[in-house]
Structure 1
Amino acid sequence: MRWSLTVLAVMVTTGCTGLELLVYPSDVLRIPEDTLHNLTLSLTFNTTQAFDAALNRSGSVLVVRVVPDEEWKLKIVNTPVQFTAQEVTEAACKTVMVSGYYWGHTRLSFYLTVNHVDDQFLPGVLLRDDVVVVVDRSAKLLDSFFIMGVTLFLICNTVNMGCQLDLKLIWQVLRKPVGPVCGFLSQFAFMPGVGEAPVTGCLHTTSLTISMFQFSYLIGWLIFEDPLQRLGLFTLGCCPGGILSNFITLLFSGDLNLSVTMTFISTLSAMGMMPLWMYTLGTSLTSENNYMKVPFANLAISLVSLTVPTGIGMFIKYKRPRWAEISNRLIKPITVLILVLFGAIGAYSSYKAFLMMNGAMLLAGLIITVAGYAFGAIMSKLCCLKRDKIIAISIETAFQNAGVCFIVLKLSLPTPERYPIMGSKDGHQASSVKFMKNVTFGPIGLRTSLWG
């Protein structure tokens, strides 16, 4: 996969200064992060009066300064750019070097700060502000090794985890599914969002009734102003649990049989529950041109990646009980090693994501995580379940599969390559960049996306 820096530019004529600034290229360019990209500027006169004045002052200087709206994301290497009056009359070209460092979108503004051709000129005239730069992550060798390593160790450890399962206990869980029902209600009734914020309209009234016991929708509404950032948190709340929840349950001596069963049930249920929430509450957070798409294929892959390795582990336990005993002694240290090692590598590989987090994202992630633990524990306690089952349900509720969430966003939202950013309705495309950042690299999203 290759990520890129995208530049979109549209010619704008500014008549008030008698000048127009052209920025080339005007189509979409793809350049990885941390690389230099040349923007070509051409400053020309668009009135006869200004052109004639420049002919009499051919040695006069005009200076254009390029200013990003978020300077910490972009580095402008050679700004300001100086033109002579003669160069302007000849429509000469100058080059500005831009280096994208942080991921996300940034708007470039071009100001005329010096104009010796015009004696009445006031510095700081805005020539244009319609150039948008989107910096995305470039593919790195470390990322490839990281993904392959995580996949290999996850498969091995899931097989190892299967050696700890007992088919009879799993059958008991399914015969008296108090735990799975608690987990289902916590995962798909509470987590997507507790009550919708005050809204008006028939659709929102219906959504309010449906979402009476939901949480992430409300938190997103309270913390984020951008509807698409709210949608990001809401989508994460709709996702099922992942393999990470099974590992954490194992480490904290929870009921592993219940945890694996709940992960399977929640992933299977997500094929129906995610469309339900996406097409009810989710539509109130998207533009009319965006349709939420549920990644059924990825959910199916998640089921296979859970059931096949655990099935192999259970078969090993049945055929080679001695191997299962050895596995039982090794699985906790190996799980801790995997979490620490790949957590450190993932953090190093995605360190820019941490630097881009803001207080609202950290707060939202913390609230959602703590609330998931708390609600799962309360539901389990009310059902008079034992401590190990309470641990399993709490962890299963709090740890969503953010990989599924990321796929939903990627399939559902338009990208800059599909149409010009500045042409998007209500600026939703620009917002979607922040939305993706929130979901993928938020406190929950980054944590769970490392482990699937």
Structure 2
Amino acid sequence: MPTCYGKLKTALQMRPQKAVTKCLLCEQLTVFSMGFGAVIGVLVALNNVNVGCQLDMHVVLSQIKRPVAPAIGMFCQFIFMPLISYGSSTLLLQNPVTRLGLFTIGSCPGGIYSNFYTLLFEGDLDLSVTMTFMSSVGALALMPLWMHTLGRRIAGTATPAVPFSNLIVSLVALTLPLGAGPPHPIQAAKNGLKWPRKIVKPFSVAILLVALVIGTYSYWYIVTLITLMDVVAASVVVVAGVFYFGATMAWLFSTHK
């Protein structure tokens, strides 16, 4: 672990503050960590092309025009999740830095990996991609809203920065590769593109395993900063926000599909 992270951990434990003024993290960029990020980015982009070949763009467009299910997901993602993460961090965490971190995670949009899990577990891939797209677009406005309201209650007079560049890059990384696929999976089969369907699941599993194993190794220094209460607070968000509230909303507003 780089020395600066050891010093940061000691400082956070010994000098908890009532307001976040400035938190400086110095990351030791190595060839390995930079190469890992580049390789994962390329693999995810390639697999998104495979995922795009499985989509029915007519269904995706119809869901965007009549976004009933995406609206339910957006409500859970950008209303309940930020509130439960704010409550959990305020009640269970003492350090303002970790409070802000958990609240920020709860205010983030859904990730691209969710599409891979939906594909592997044979869920509604068209709906998953639609919700990921709309979540990424909505985050451009809703994430700054939360950062300038409840985020400032944690950070004090400072205004937490919103990573607009990362949000835009994620949106582009989602739409361009997915758009490279044919507009209908039947058309892909007629054009002789049967191999994407055969390799998309094994490729998705490989990407998830590589991201988990190598990613954990590359960013192990973050694990050393995590305390037991950090795990408890995050678990409350996952159990209450994802499993309990998400499952309840899915049951209440379930469609006929």
Q: Indicate the TM-score class for this superposition, using the shorter chain for normalisation.
A: 0.7 to 0.9
One of 30, 33, 46 as aligned partner of 2:2: 33
Taking the TM superposition and a 5 Å limit, the aligned residue runs for 1:13-412 are: 33=2, 102=6, 104-106=8-10, 136-193=26-83, 215-288=84-157, 290-314=158-182, 320-321=188-189, 322-370=191-239, 371-385=241-255
Give the total of aligned pairs. 243
Task: Determine helix, strand or coil for the equivalent of 1:291.
Answer: coil
Instruction: Provide the C-alpha distance between the structure 1 equivalents of 2:172 and 2:213, rounded to a whole number of angstroms.
Output: 27
CA distance in structure 2 between the aligned counterparts of 1:383 and 1:346, rounded to whole angstroms: 36
Deviation at 1:320, TM superposition (A): 4.2
Change (3 A) 1:296 1:138: closer
**Residues 185, 311 of structure 1: alpha-carbon distance in 2 compared, 3 angstrom cutoff:** same
- Displacement, 1:275? 2.0
Query: How far apart in 1 are the matches of 2:123 and 2:221?
Result: 34
With 291-300 and 273-282 compared, the bigger mean Cα shift is at 291-300
Tell me how far 1:151 sits from its aligned partner.
0.8
In 2, are the aligned partners of 1:317 and 1:324 still within 8 Å (CA)?
A: no
Q: Normalized per residue, which structure has more strand?
A: 1
Bigger RCO (CA 8 Å, 6+ sep): 2
Q: Counterpart of 1:142 in structure 2: which amino acid? A: F
**Counterparts of 2:26 and 2:164, CA distance in 1:** 26
Give, in whole Å, the separation in 2 of the partners of 1:317 and 1:225.
51
**Identical amino acids, percent of aligned pairs:** 38
Contact 1:216/1:237 (<8 A) preserved: yes
Point out 4+ residue stretches in structure 1 off by more than 4 angstroms.
315-320
Counterpart contact for 2:188–2:194, Cα < 8 Å:
no
Q: Is the 8 A contact 1:33 1:135 kept in 2?
A: no
Question: What is the one-letter code of the residue matched to 1:231?
Answer: L
Aligned Cα root-mean-square deviation (Å): 2.4
Is the alpha carbon distance of 1:351 and 1:294 closer, same or farther for their aligned partners in structure 2, counting shifts above 3 Å? Answer: closer
For residues 238 and 101 of structure 1, the distance between their equivalents in structure 2, rounded to whole angstroms, comes to: 25
More helix by share: 2
CA distance in 2, matches of 1:382, 1:291: 37
Would the aligned equivalents of 2:57 and 2:184 in 1 still touch at CA under 8 Å? no
Contact 1:191 1:216 in 2 (8 A): yes
What is the distance in 1 between the residues matched to 2:131 and 2:110?
8
Deviation at 1:291, TM superposition (A): 1.8
* Cα shift readout 1:410-433 (whole Å, capped 9, x = no counterpart): xxxxxxxxxxxxxxxxxxxxxxxx
Q: Structure 2 CA distance, aligned partners of 1:329 and 1:279?
A: 46
Could you tell me whether the CA contact under 8 Å between 2:182 and 2:188 is conserved in 1?
no
Distance across 2 between alignment mates of 1:190 and 1:324: 41
Residues 361 and 326 of structure 1: is their aligned pair in 2 closer, same or farther, counting only changes over 3 Å?
same
